[in-house]
Amino acid sequence: MKKSETDNHHQRSNTDIDKLLDVEDEAITAALREGWDGLDQHIHVFTPELDWFQQQIQQRQAVNRKRLVLELGLFVIIAVILLSLFISLTLWTPVIFLIIQLIAVLIVPFVLVSLLRKRVEA
């Protein structure tokens, strides 16, 4: 066989295969549609009324509003606590420093005296 005859033979066989595949695809599609139609006829699907959907939306919105108010309240409370701690620490820093200095001045002599007594006794 010559090359052109071989090419023609392949083209013919490809078109035959394509036709067979198209027929098989149509048969499968038809069988699926028949099955789905049978399911639709035998199984009744209940669709709720529009009022039910609206009620569900209102309930969900109410829950979301409550959650939003709770989260915003919690955020504000935590923010106020953190800011007040920061401000109080910033403003009271000199006072805290003086208290630590006084404690150190009062405690260090007692510690030194007790250490010296232990050395003398030993």
Q: What pLDDT is stored for residue 62 in this prediction?
A: 96
More confident residue, 7 or 70: 70
Q: What pLDDT is stored for residue 52 in this prediction?
A: 93
Amino acid at 34: E
Q: How far is CA 86 from the centre of its chain?
A: 31
Tell me how far apart the alpha carbons of residues 30 and 12 are, in angstroms, rounded to a whole number.
27
Q: What pLDDT is stored for residue 4 in this prediction?
A: 54
Tell me how far apart the alpha carbons of residues 105 and 30 are, in angstroms, rounded to a whole number.
98
Q: Note the pTM of the prediction, 2 decimals.
A: 0.43
What band does 10 get if pLDDT is binned at 50, 70 and 90? low
Tell me how far apart the alpha carbons of residues 43 and 92 are, in angstroms, rounded to a whole number.
75
Cβ neighbours for 9, distance < 8 A, ≥ 6 positions apart:
1
Per-residue CA distances from 46 to 43, 49, 50, 51, 113 (Å): 10, 9, 13, 14, 92
Amino acid at 109: P
Q: Which of 10-19, 61-70, 80-89 has the highest mean pLDDT?
A: 61-70
